[in-house]
Structure 1
């Protein structure tokens, strides 16, 4: 791949005339880069789509191609993209509904706003994949009709469609009021009983891993239940039957379901599968009694899920924080803490609780500065990116904790240029800090030169507009293709160099 020209193609400062010259010599890689330009003109987009057909789809999704620019016969993928965006010719839908390519009909079935006659045509398609794709996205009335389809794959899709009426979802779960399912993808293709090998060696096989059918279409109906459990429109009452289901996956989905009756939650607290209990622990609707019961659970995932519960009592969270590796993240309960709770958390004897509080970015100045002076490095690391910290406090953090907090200080929006330069020049270098500095819009040339010494910061720094031109031009020949591409995409690259790069590129740019 011509990484330099592809980088140049994304350069926001590339003049329009040079964009046109790149369009004229584009191959697939260069076309892909050009298609992402927000300033690409419609004329250039049409020329690019004509030159490299694969580029037509991203150009259509970007709104750079219009219906007049696309022939649905020669460029059906581009036509489908425009239909998917709601900007295609409705007449194309009728043409593509009869396309012999099943994949094209499936993509059409997922498009919004299809004419009623096209939806009827697709609903009667002989390929279950086409009808199922329609069922995923169609309107409530059509979904209700397709719930009676004899193919399990179609009913599975109806169960996942959030437009499906609740009463229809209930019927799909119970089977009551619906004719029996007659087929699934497994028995369409294999003699039953059959279980698809999870390590299937057949390259042309597209059955899902673990798919099986013994005549009851069990794997697809299991997936139908999964979809219904995840569909917010499914009445909770009909889902309670899964509380004792042999499938731990279905029980776990039920445990995480909003609106779960307390008595069912109380049953699931004692489930033998930790994934079920973890699903319950993460359910925002469970009450404090269940939260406290789950706090004694020895399952790591259970306790971790409980720590992220939005209403976990702070005393329980304190116990969890001492045994579960939570990491520096803003937990929902900490984010919702009242001013009085914030005061108590700031004085917590547990450094982890102070660290979790320090992740908030709306702390009162006094609390923020108190945490900035904390003796524990992980607390200081969490508060270091907080806006409003003075340069003196930021320097004090570095003096006390060094490389442990360098990257966090480098992320602070108020860190002054001279402090960033000091951080960049530290010996030994702090790699994470260099990567943070390289990505800052306000990074100075001196800091960026130091960032170039780090392998992972180097490509980021190469794309920074503050890099000196002589250094930038030298990076175009860097042995690391990612660095060279970033340098070519740098808006500070002189126009004369851009012109030279384009002029020296042969047609079929990947040979450059």
Structure 2
């Protein structure tokens, strides 16, 4: 019954009076589904929050509750959610700043627009985790103040905050102009020097693997530098020197920045670690010359990531497509191709280039139809889901290429009901096609009945509104809970059946 009720809670056709009944018997899981309903009234939201306390937070974030609906003493987590949405009372913030729960004070520190006295209170909290959370999300002025905090963990959080002033970030990354940190999470708990065992057996230990402190708080300072390197507000001149740093993680953090001089990208493109070179390859800030160098990289992942660079020249992309596993995805450079480039790609002698173009779903009809008649099955498979293709062209694809294109044809938005039925009877059967048919809006009851025989397509078919009502009702007792929930959520489930599924109080 639990899965039936969860499914009913998602059923868009559930009438208001049955929503009321379901609220009265809902458990936490059912309440979570009910809280997502687009038609949930304010009165129903208040009733749900009162019946299932855990749902109040979700309802607050969904905008279903107001400050008048929440008692911050009895529902502190819902009050936090409203504060996070900037619709809570300032008095709530003052109350929660003194909450005995560290987790709640941490959540409060994330909220924007807090009264200044609350920020002062949080900045002086007895638990450094609260101060660090504040430092991560606070304003520019407060970030500058907290950069001088004696605890290195707070400074690490300031380094990740994009509101931190650039000059302060530069000081954090170099250490110049700031007093030395006095403590870190490691020396707070352990005798110096200490290196945390990467396979620590202590169940109550929350130190990161490899965390260490010899008095200089080295692991936290390293994390702080990494955070600052990833922070786009950190000045370019403060980060360029890290291109040759012995730490792989610091070089890697630098590789994704888009504000570096070309010679720095060149040094990173020669890094011995493929992951660093791969991040550089996808970086839209690198120039044409470096793109062509990286196109010859020995690592296949570097070359694959280069194909995702929005500025890769088409000739380089075409060459890479023939030797690199790109997958069925629309690449940024292909999506941005001009009409002239689209025609050029469509005429390419390389099937891989035509296949990349076929991933677009906005092609001119003449190019779309030409690719649909392509002799290469991979090109046809890529174009098969393009809207606007006629039934005759779709059937011709299957006649020429068989099982290689059946699933993609089934995913075409213009596939007719008759064609979808035929695809579910295709010999040999294509498992992916059943899933595509089961989610297709044009699928008929007969086609969906055939999909029920496939284990992965069965839950999808059970939720399809074209499935006959009596079949939907039968699936409510299925052995697969996913099928049960999908059937209960099916808007074609008869109202009388819905009513009978909800227990009477």
Q: TM-score, normalised by structure 2?
A: 0.97
How far apart are residue 486 of structure 1 and its match?
0.7
Q: Which residue of structure 1 aligns with residue 469 of structure 2? A: 469
Q: Secondary structure at the match of 1:201?
A: coil
Please give the residue correspondences for 1:177-192 in structure 2 after superposition, counting only pairs within 5 Å: 177-192=177-192
Q: 1:321 to 1:136 in 2, by over 3 A?
A: same
| Maintained 8 Å contact 1:475/1:483 | yes
Q: Does 1:490 align with 2:490?
A: yes
Quote the Cα distance in structure 1 between the aligned partners of 2:351 and 2:157.
48
List 4+ stretches of structure 1 deviating above 3 A.
none
Runs of 5+ in structure 1 lacking a partner? 508-512
Gaps of 5+ in 2: none
Deviation at 1:425, TM superposition (A): 2.1
8 Å CA contact 2:415–2:442 kept in 1: the answer is: no
Match of 1:231 in 2: 231
TM-score normalised to the size of structure 1? 0.95
Q: Do residues 61 (structure 1) and 61 (structure 2) align? A: yes
Residue of structure 1 in register with 2:71 after alignment: 71
**3-state SS of the aligned residue for 2:502?**
helix
Partners of 2:261 and 2:281 lie apart in 1 by: 14
Question: How far did 1:451 drift?
Answer: 1.4
Number of aligned residue pairs: give it: 505
SS in 1 for 2:179: coil
Map residues 75-224 of structure 1 onto 2, 5 A cutoff.
75-224=75-224
Using the alignment, how far apart are the partners of 1:488 and 1:201 within structure 2?
45
Q: How far does residue 30 in structure 1 lie from its aligned partner after superposition?
A: 2.3
2:39 aligned with 1:39, yes or no? yes
* 1:28 aligned residue: 28
| 1: CA distance, partners of 2:276 / 2:78 | 44
Matches within 5 A, 1:418-429: 418-429=418-429
Establish whether residue 442 from structure 1 lines up as the match of residue 442 from structure 2: yes
2:320 corresponds to: 320
Tell me how far apart the structure 1 counterparts of residues 293 and 80 of structure 2 sit (CA, whole Å). Answer: 53
1:245 deviates by 0.8
8 A Cα contact 1:438 1:457, kept in partner:
yes
- Counterpart of 1:276 in 2: which secondary structure? helix
SS in structure 1 at match of 2:54: helix
19-28 vs 151-160, greater mean Cα deviation:
19-28
Deviations 1:38-96 (A, max 9, x none): 22222222222222221211121112222222221122111111111111111000001
Q: Distance in 1 between matches of 2:261 and 2:157?
A: 27
Listed as ranges, the matches of 1:349-364 within 5 Å are: 349-364=349-364
Change (3 A) 1:274 1:92: same
Q: Offset of 1:172 from its aligned partner?
A: 1.1
- Asked whether the 8 Å contact 2:351–2:376 carries over to 1, the reply is yes
**Equivalent residue, structure 2, for 1:267:** 267
Task: Write the distance in 2 (CA, Å) between the matches of 1:339 and 1:293.
Answer: 28
1:476 is paired with a residue of what secondary structure? helix
- String of CA shifts for 1:380-418, please: whole Å, max 9, x gaps: 011111111111111101111112111111111121221
1:304 corresponds to 2:304: yes
Counterpart contact for 1:7–1:485, Cα < 8 Å: yes
* Offset at residue 241 of structure 1 (A): 1.6
Q: Offset of 1:260 from its aligned partner?
A: 1.3
RMSD: 1.5
C-alpha contact (below 8 Å) 1:252/1:280 kept by paired residues: no
1:211 deviates by 2.1
Q: CA deviation at 1:127?
A: 1.1
Larger deviation, residues 25-34 vs 5-14: 25-34
1:341 matches 2:344: no
1:189 Cα offset (Å): 1.3
